[in-house]
Each structure stands twice: as C-alpha cells, then as structure tokens.
Amino acid sequence: MGSLPRRQRVAAYAVMLRERGGRVEILLSRLAPRVSRAEMWTLPGGGVDHGEDPRAALVREIHEETGLAAAVGETAHVYSAHMPRAPRDGLLVDAHAIRIVYDAWVPPDAPAPRVVEVDGSTIEAAWHRLEDVASGAVPVATQVTDALVDHQPHRLQRVAAYALVRRGDDVLLTRLSTRAAHPGRWTLPGGGVDHGEHPSVALAREVEEECGLPCEVTGLLGVHDTHFAGHAPSGRIEDYHGIHLVYAATVGEGEPHVQEVDGTTDAVAWVPVADIEAGAVDVLDLVRYATRSTHD
C-alpha cells in the first residue's frame, strides 16, 4: 500500500475576548455541517494564502466569518497537528496543520457578529461565555481549549496622575465615557503620564482637556493603585494595574466643560463630598481614597 498524499496547511486564528456584565466572553465561529456534522465551534480565522502576511490573512478571515473589523496583536503562539489519515475533499491524506494563533480585539461598541462569506466553512458567529466553553456547554474544537491555555489577557501597568480639586464642600469629578473600562462612573480628573513627562505637567494638561479650565498643581497627596481585568479604549481585554499619583490642585474661574472629543470623559461636574460619602454618586475607589485621605 502506497503512502498517502501529503498536505501541509498554514492558517492564522484569533483568540478574541470581551467583558460583558462582569463575565468574559470569547468570539467563536460555528463550523458548517459539511465540515462537522455535530455542532462544533472554533476560533475565527483560516488559511494563509501564498504570499500573504499571516496577520493580514487573519484580519481578512475574521471579517469574512464575523463581519467585524479586528485589530490583531503582534505576538502569537504556534501549534502543530499531524494527522496521518485525515479526510480532505473526499480523499484520505497525510495532513499537517500549522496554526498561528494571535490575540485580537474589536471596539466595545462593535456590532453583533454575522457571517459575510457565502458557502464557506462557517455558518454562524457568536460571543460565548468562557465558563460555558470550559464546562462543555458550548462544544468547541481542541484548538480553542489549547489556545485559551496560552492566551491570557494582555498585561498593562500604567502610571497616571489625578487631581483633587475642592470648591467649598464640593470636589471636581469627571464621568467615564463608553470608551473607558467603567463607563458611567465618576472619577478624579487626570490621566496617563507620557514617557519623559513630569507627572504634574501631565496632570495640568489632562485637567485642561477634561475640564476646560487651567490647572495649577500643588503637592502630592498620596499614591493609590488598582488591579482588574477590563477593556482598554480599543476594546482589548487587559489585566490592568493602574498606579495613581494623587495631587492637590486648583483650577481657574469658570464652569468646567469637556474639551476632548471622543475621549474617555463625557461629563464634568462639581459634586458634593456628602453625596460621595452617602453613595448617591457612583464613583471609583480612587475618589473615596482621595477624599478620605484629606478629610478634616
């Protein structure tokens, strides 16, 4: 008996995660019945054409299978599967699959996924809870569970400066937009420190962008930190560690107003400290930390 014809295939796939209601979900594609008679979900992606960059191939495949425009990370994990007797196009072949798996993401406000490709290998695309994948409630291909072992949320440590600005019994707060990790909640004005930038300079710039008022930064009040998994403004899930430098500051005359367009802040207001302490205003822990640390 002669050896079977050899077929080697290189394909690119994506682990795409998002957070909804405190639960992490993964975007999966359901294989067509001609590929799998039983219900089977797999990672979005597919074959890399001759001369095609794998990341470009993945962007194309994600759009064909889900209708979404995805951003793809720079690094990947590679998996190799040798199947000496595998059916391909009605024939038995000696198959070798090389799978390059990246992390990828879409904006938080991306539309619901839908299959664009006609008569392709997938018939449906949907977000599934990771716990349902882990429990077996959602039947998945082996490559999904293998990839989830290696693809953890992107780790990011970020230093930011924030201002505690008082006016009588009120403090100046900003509200987080839908582009932020905690939309609708209130926090202190401020933001990230750019490379080479002094934190007080960064803070004065951020306060003016978010509040529309000139800012004078005085002394450091304390250092706060937070650690959670959530969305970056891009939509990418991150294992996020924020280190917050809290300064006392003053602002110029006038009513505050948001200057930055399509940023992570959508409102600014003077808020009574009593409302914060009573829980009437939904604030991040950073605000409670700052007001407690300076409470007379």
Q: What is the pLDDT along the chain (296 residues), one digit of tens a residue?
A: 468 999 999 999 999 999 887 788 999 999 999 889 999 999 999 999 999 999 999 999 999 999 999 999 988 999 999 999 888 878 899 999 999 999 999 998 899 999 999 889 999 999 999 999 999 999 999 999 999 989 888 888 999 999 999 999 999 999 999 888 788 999 999 999 999 999 999 999 999 999 999 999 999 999 999 998 777 878 888 888 999 999 999 999 999 999 888 888 999 999 999 999 999 999 999 999 999 876 54
Residue 35 domain boundaries: 6-150
The predicted pLDDT at position 234 comes to 84
Identify the H or E element spanning 150: helix 142-150
Residue among 197, 203, 226 nearest 216 (CA): 203
Q: Is 202 strand, coil or helix?
A: helix
- CA pair distance 227, 239, nearest whole angstrom: 7
Q: What is the CATH number of the domain that holds 199?
A: 3.90.79.10
CA distances 59 to 3, 50, 69, 101, 185, Å, are 36, 16, 7, 12, 33
Contact yes or no for 286/188 (Cβ under 8 A): yes
143 with 212, same domain? no
Instruction: Give me 194's structure tokens.
Output: 């750019």
24 with 111, same domain? yes
Instruction: Give me 129's structure tokens.
Output: 């809870």
Q: Has residue 1 been placed in a domain?
A: no
In terms of pTM, does the model score above 0.75? Answer: no
Task: State which amino acid sits at residue 58.
Answer: L
186 with 280, same domain? yes
- CA pair distance 79, 147, nearest whole angstrom: 9
CA distances 195 to 49, 57, 138, 157, 159, Å, are 39, 33, 44, 13, 10
161 with 217, same domain? yes
> Pick from 105, 129, 150: which residue ends a domain?
150
Contact yes or no for 113/126 (Cβ under 8 A): yes
* DSSP secondary structure code for residue 184 in this structure: T
